Structure 1
């Protein structure tokens, strides 16, 4: 996807969507919320505020359909997908990708996964 000259400016430099979907405990697919995504999202939002990243938005998302690899997030405008499990993972994604513009390859999801 490419931007057109007539497109309005972005509201945010970085926009993060974290799956916080919750399914019933007996659902065979599971869900990101069952794996702690809600608390990890709160950790990321707290860290974003502490770092003063006003041009970054972190939102909850419904099911992103990567339940087996969850919890997951997608970061725009790049469209990079990550899996994560700990606050250390969140801190690494925030520092490496959001702040410095790099990638955390060990946590990236392949498009076909």
Structure 2
């Protein structure tokens, strides 16, 4: 960010993959693993908690389908794999509100999909 850049509209964007592939697709999809329900909860809960300056967004494929449901929080660039409402709650409380990290849910640079054949 430079001095010439405008100020950020949101302090954080939470992108939740809701991509859906066919049930027989070898990579699977985040939507088939429940990401839409988790996204809906995250949006509602963030409003309920009145967390200022954030936006929960639907995302298309984030290319980590094998590890889904996948989400990423920017500008931090931290990737998570929430699989339950409790996971979402912990991400909101620890990361978004508290500024920490939920280590057990983080997807790292080691969590990459296999090369496309």
Q: Which residue of 2 aligns with 1:91?
A: 89
**Please, what TM-score do these two structures have when normalized by structure 1?**
0.95
Tell me which stretches of 4 or more aligned residues in structure 1 moved more than 4 Å.
none
Q: Which residue of 1 aligns with 2:105?
A: 107
Unaligned runs of 5+ in 1: none
Q: Aligned runs of 1:43-82 on 2, under 5 Å? A: 43-82=41-80
CA RMSD of aligned residues (A): 0.7
- CA drift at 1:111: 1.8
3-state DSSP class of the match of 2:107?
coil
Deviation digits for residues 47-66 of structure 1 (CA, Å, limit 9, x no counterpart): 00101124110000000000
Determine the C-alpha separation between the residues in 1 that align with 2:39 and 2:63: 18
**Please, what TM-score do these two structures have when normalized by structure 2?**
0.92
Which of 14, 17, 32 is matched with 1:16 structurally? 14
- CA drift at 1:33: 0.0
Deviation digits for residues 54-113 of structure 1 (CA, Å, limit 9, x no counterpart): 411000000000011100100011100001100000000000000011000110011231
Q: Which residue of 1 aligns with 2:38?
A: 40
Q: Which residue of 1 aligns with 2:114?
A: none
Q: Which residue of 1 aligns with 2:26?
A: 28
Unaligned runs of 5+ in 2: 112-117
